[in-house]
Structure 1
């Protein structure tokens, strides 16, 4: 059986070094050996968040950490703003409504980012907002929000906490939690962090901890004060994802060896390669250059091609595995993930196989045009 070429927005490919690390023998999560390892490894994640705060590790998917961020800071009946630019922004809306928060929904058209002015104007008539929730990178549309600018708006125009979902980008984009003024930043293991699903990461500002101490929403498994208490002991309050934490140490090795700034630049390069390749093939893109994500590109259906059949054909014949559209974009776009353990050579491979599939469907284009355009982006970068 051939192995799929996984170009999804998550889960993403896992490096061999990480797989090997996760094969280590299991030890007791209360042992002195693991406590030391846990402390060292969690500290090594801090540069990816751009924070001096602790990085709490929760054995869960990213959604649980988003829920933890909400229920530990806001009580029923309190008012929040949720910026939603796609399906995963709507996740935050659903979480907040489930717990009885009064939600003011700042909704943008799918494919567009929220601007500073959008948020300024939205906040003007509102009073007593407890928190503003935003998605850094919207997985469903391939849009990245200007989080640094939005954080500045929240600080300047309200007393609210700024809580950010970084699940599909932290590890591949700049994350400057402390200097930008983010109060809670969350990510998950299975995307740019190059790990299997099952571990989430959350970091909390001093301002947010003070709010959490006075919060009235009950929580047990997701009580962040409990995680903080046990973190001081080098542990989690429950059984941690031991094998994934072994893998996390290997991920830190890889990022440190490459240099995190170089990791960020690699993701930008791959984004540009994909976008130029699609333009050369006359295939539309959902987002503008300004709003385009470095970790995932949303691509429109090639003209005259049945998108569902095309994506299925690529997987069946060429083992190239893309994700389809979500929600209102289902059947209109597919999503090309280029995050984590992904390199320019992987982009060239994927575009080459896309071209082979287009030929199978009788799509008219200059053979090799997409690969050449992407290759030119790569070569130009390395000549400079």
Structure 2
């Protein structure tokens, strides 16, 4: 639903509809970075399985995998012949009926999960989706105002990948951004290593976080002597937020 390395979102709703119209195949969704950032309606869209992790939109350390299953998926699991032991959904479903897990769980993370879900419930899941959409749009606006090109034509609301400006060395850029300005971004992977970087706005983020990130980008570009109009990025982000205030 949201691919992290390229910051690209896919239209799961449309894909699920097309599959349903032409096939009885089970629809399994990679929701690792989408759950908590993008609209995702499991039952309404006819999804059969969706997986996510605790370390993304659920705002926690890594360590928990969460799987949602439809009745169709459960029936398929019950009749499946593929051998499995530790990662056995049959065992997980059996234990689930007793409010348990097949093996010793990460108890502290489950307690943390309860708290993060309460935070999401208090904000309202649709408001959470809107917040991520709003923050990601402002982030893209700020980067473009600094003359940076966006990587994806179908941007994710969880992460924004940006092309490094022409002539900017990734290692020098990242060193200043991280060590002098206190901001950590993710590097590009494989063929895009040293060519793009990725800004996260997934989970516990707000408007001031985006202003801080774009401000740090400006300070970094200034330090490495890359030409741009000082204040243009921060001003663009501020304008985006002020023109579209948060609904209360």
TM-score by length of 2: 0.97
> Hey, what's the Cα distance between the residues in 2 that align with 1:327 and 1:279?
24
> Hey, what's the Cα distance between the residues in 2 that align with 1:207 and 1:191?
27
> Hey, what's the Cα distance between the residues in 2 that align with 1:218 and 1:253?
37
Partner SS state of residue 244, structure 1: helix
Identify the residue that residue 177 of structure 2 maps to in structure 1: 314
Q: Which residue of 185, 191, 213 corresponds with 1:350?
A: 213
Q: Does 1:298 align with 2:179?
A: no
Superposed CA offset, 1:199-238 (max 9, x none): 0100111111121122111001111111111111111011
Change (3 A) 1:205 1:349: same
> Hey, what's the Cα distance between the residues in 1 that align with 2:118 and 2:69?
24
Q: Does 1:365 align with 2:228?
A: yes
Q: Which residue of 128, 132, 141 corresponds with 2:6?
A: 141
Question: Deviation of residue 255 (structure 1)?
Answer: 1.1
Identify the residue that residue 189 of structure 1 maps to in structure 2: 54
Partner SS state of residue 198, structure 1: coil
Q: Of the two structures, which has the highest relative contact order with CA contacts closer than 8 Å and spacing of 6 or more? A: 1
Partner SS state of residue 186, structure 1: strand
- Is the Cα contact below 8 Å between 2:58 and 2:117 reproduced in 1? no
Question: Deviation of residue 248 (structure 1)?
Answer: 0.8
Question: Deviation of residue 174 (structure 1)?
Answer: 1.2
> Hey, what's the Cα distance between the residues in 2 that align with 1:211 and 1:383?
44
> Hey, what's the Cα distance between the residues in 2 that align with 1:193 and 1:383?
21
Change (3 A) 1:383 1:256: closer
> Hey, what's the Cα distance between the residues in 2 that align with 1:149 and 1:312?
42
Q: Which residue of 61, 66, 69 corresponds with 1:204?
A: 69
- Is the Cα contact below 8 Å between 2:7 and 2:155 reproduced in 1? yes
Which 4+ stretches in 1 moved above 4 angstroms?
Answer: none
- Is the Cα contact below 8 Å between 1:301 and 1:307 reproduced in 2? yes
Identify the residue that residue 26 of structure 2 maps to in structure 1: 161
Identify the residue that residue 121 of structure 2 maps to in structure 1: 256
Question: Deviation of residue 383 (structure 1)?
Answer: 7.8
> Hey, what's the Cα distance between the residues in 2 that align with 1:375 and 1:338?
16
**Count of aligned pairs:** 247
Identify the residue that residue 221 of structure 1 maps to in structure 2: 86
> Hey, what's the Cα distance between the residues in 1 that align with 2:150 and 2:161?
6
Q: Does 1:281 align with 2:138?
A: no
TM-score by length of 1: 0.63
Q: More deviation in 302-311 or 182-191?
A: 302-311
Question: Deviation of residue 162 (structure 1)?
Answer: 0.9
Identify the residue that residue 231 of structure 1 maps to in structure 2: 96
- Is the Cα contact below 8 Å between 1:283 and 1:303 reproduced in 2? no
Show the 5 A alignment for 1:1-384: 136-288=1-153, 291-382=154-245
Change (3 A) 1:344 1:226: same
- Coordinate RMSD, CA, aligned: 1.1
> Hey, what's the Cα distance between the residues in 1 that align with 2:189 and 2:164?
14
- Structure 2: unaligned runs, 5 residues or longer: none
- Structure 1: unaligned runs, 5 residues or longer: 1-135
